Amino acid sequence: MPIMTGKNALAQMLVAEGVEYLFGNPGTSETPLLDALQDFPQIKYIQALQEGTAVGMADGYAQATGRPAFANIHIAGGLANGISGLYNAFRGGVPLVLTAGNSDTRMHLTEPTLSGDLVEMTAQYTKWSAEVLHPSDIPMAVRRAFKEAKTPPTGPVFLSFPWDTMDDTADMEIVPSSPGYFHIRPDIEAVARASQLLAQAENPIIIVGDRIAQAGAVSEMVRVAELLGAKVYAASFSEVNFPTSNSLYRGALNTSNPSTARLLASADVVLAVGTNVFSSFLYVAEPFLNAPTKLIHLDNNAREMEKIYATEVGIFSDPKAGLAELADALDQDMPASAREAAITRGATLADERRRSDEEYRGRLAGLWDQKPMAVERMMHELAQAVPPETIIANEAITSGAALMRAFTFDEPGSLYGIRGGALGWGMPGALGVKLANPDRPVLAVVGDGASLYTVQALWTAARYNIPVVYAICNNRSYRILKVNMDTYLRHMLNDQERQSEYVGMDFANPLDLAAIGQAMGVAGERVEDPQMLASVVQRCFASGKPAVIDVSIDGSL
C-alpha cells in the first residue's frame, strides 16, 4: 500500500466517492486540507462566508441529487454556527457528511483556543459521529461515513480531523464505499394483513412523508391511493411525495392544531407511508388518532414505527418495494364491491377538489388589487412567470400554503424545501439545488425573516455565478410567530378576548433585501406593484445571473 499523508488520503477518498463539490467555510484548523485541495482540481471548493451557509448548500445539493454531500467547516466555534443546519439534515434524513478540523491532538490537554469535543457537539444530530486520531484510519472512516449517510433511513454523519492526523503519514489503500442496495422487501404476512384491512375500509386516509420521495416511490404511492379512492394528506412535503394536482390530495396536516384530530377522526384505517406519526411543535392535548382508527405504518425508519401511536400493522420496508407489493395485494384482495366503493369515493373527492379550487380562485379575485399585495397574488404571479421546468426551493413559512396552491408539483425533483424547522435553509439550499441541476431554472421563495439567517449565501451566488432567482416574501415581520401567538391564546389558553401586541415580532426598521443583494454583488429589485412582478421575474431569469426580488406583501393575520 502506498504511503501518503492524511490530507491526501482524505482528498483521494473524496474523489473515489464521486464528490464534485466541497461546501466549506475555511478556518485555520482546516489548513492542511485546504492545502491538499489545490492538487485535486476535480473537487470544486464552494466558499461560504458562514458555516450555516455551507451546511445549507450541502443539504440542498444532497436533497436534489439523492447522494451524500460533503461539507467542511471550522472547529468548535464554527461548528456551533453550522449545527442548526445539521439539525435540519438530521430531522429530515438528508444524506450529508459534515467534517471539521480540530486542534493538534498533542495540544488537547492544554484546552487550546476554539477547540472542544466536536463529537459530543454533533452526536445527538447525526447517525454517527467520530474523531479520526490516526491517518491510517481515514479511508475506513470516510468510507463508513458515506455508507452511513446513504443507508436508509438516510441522514448526516460527522467526522473530526485533528491537525496532526492530516499531516502524519501511513500506509493506506483508497477504496470507496459500495453502491449499496436498499430496496428492502416487506414481510409477506404484514403486507397481507394491511391489504385485508385496507380492502375492507370504508373511509381510508393516507398520510405521506418525505421518505416516499427519497425512495423514488411516488408512482407506487399514487397507485395505492387510486386503488383505495383515499384522501391523501402530507405530514411533510419537502419534496414531491404525491402529485399536488391529483384530486385525492388534500394538502398538509397542521400537527400543532387540534383540528387535525377531528379531520382524521372519520377514518377507519389510516395508512402512513415514509413519515413520522406525528411530529408536532406545539402541544396538543387531544391525540390525533383514536382507538377505533386502525393505523398501518409502512416505512424504512423502524425507529418511527409505533413510536407514539399503537399500530395495527407495521411494515418495515423500502417504501418503493413495500408500496408495490401492497398495491399488488390490493389488486387481488379488493372485491368488486370494494372497488366500486373506491371509485365512488374518488369521484366524490374529485368534486370536492373542484369546488375547493373554484372557491380559491374566487378568494384570489377578491384579493387581486390589494396593496400591499396579497401573498396569494404574489404566488400566482410567480407561477405564471417562471420558465418551464423551474425547480422551487421553498422556505416561505407562512406564505408556503399560498405557494402550494399557486404551483403544481407533480414531478419528482420539482420541489425541495426546509426540513427540521431551523430557519436559514432556503438561501443556501437553493444554491445546492441549482448546482445539482445546472440545466434547470431554480426559484427560491423565502420569507424575509428566514432569509436573514443565511443572507451571506448571496455572496456565494455572486462569487460562483450560481443563477438562482430569489423571491423574498417581505411582510416586515416574523409572521409565523404571530400565527403561533394566536394559536397559543385562542386554542391553548382558550382566551378569545386578549389582543396580543406581538412583542418582538415586527421589523420596525425596513429590511431592504434588494439592497443587501446589491451589496453582495447580486442584482436586486424591490417590487410593490403586483402588476410589475411577472416582468421582473422574467427579466431576472433571462439574465442568467443570480438575482433578488424583494416583494412587499401584506403581513396582516
Q: What is the mean pLDDT of residues 273-282?
A: 93
Mean predicted confidence (pLDDT) in 303-313: 96
Tell me how crowded residue 22 is: count the other CB atoms within 10 A of its CB. 23
Residue carrying the nine cell digits 405504518: 297
Q: How far is CA 92 from CA 88, 301, 475, in A?
A: 6, 12, 27
Residue 303, pLDDT score: 95
- pLDDT-derived band at 256 (thresholds 50, 70, 90) equals confident
- Tell me the average pLDDT across 457-462: 98
| Mean pLDDT to the nearest integer, 235-260 | 93
CA distance 208 to 372: 35
Q: What is the mean pLDDT of residues 469-481?
A: 94
Confidence of residue 176 (pLDDT cuts 50, 70, 90): very high
Q: Which domains are seen in the chain, by residue range?
A: 3-171 (3.40.50.970), 188-353 (3.40.50.1220), 368-476+511-552 (3.40.50.970)
Asked whether residue 510 carries a pLDDT value surpassing 90, the answer given is no
Mean pLDDT, to the nearest integer, of 99-115? 93
Predicted confidence at residue 448, as pLDDT, reads 95
Cell of 157: 454523519
Helix-helix angle 218-228:336-367, to 10 degrees: 110
Q: Which amino acid is at 536?
A: V
Which of 80-89, 206-215, 476-485 has the lowest average pLDDT? 476-485
DSSP three-state, residue 478: coil
Half-sphere exposure at residue 320, Cβ-oriented, CA atoms within 13 angstroms = 12
Percentage of the residues of the chain whose pLDDT score is greater than 70: 100
CA proximity to 414, closest of 457, 376, 446, 383: 383
* Residue 85 pLDDT exceeds 90: yes
Grid cell 430496496 in the structure block, residue: 183
> At residue 219, does pLDDT exceed 90?
yes
pLDDT class of 190 with cuts at 50, 70, 90: very high
Place of cell 423565502: 446
Q: According to the model, what pLDDT value does residue 79 have? A: 97
Here the cell at position 391 is 425547480
Q: What is the mean pLDDT of the chain?
A: 96
pLDDT of 182 reads 78
Find the mean pLDDT for residues 439-450.
97
Residue 1 has pLDDT above 80, yes or no: no
Return d(Cα 334, Cα 340) in angstroms, integer: 10
pLDDT of residue 161: 98
- pLDDT of res. 282: 85
Q: Given a cut of 90, is residue 281 above it in pLDDT?
A: no
Q: What is the mean pLDDT of residues 487-500?
A: 90
Lowest mean pLDDT among 252-256, 366-370, 454-458: 252-256
- Structure confidence at residue 386 (pLDDT): 98
Q: How open is the CA angle 236-214-398, to the nearest 5 degrees? A: 25
Distance CA 549, CA 373 (A): 14
The DSSP code for 477 is B
What is the tens place of the pLDDT at every residue in 407-416? 999 999 999 9
pLDDT of residue 291: 85
Q: What is the mean pLDDT of residues 96-110?
A: 95
* pLDDT number for residue 259: 87
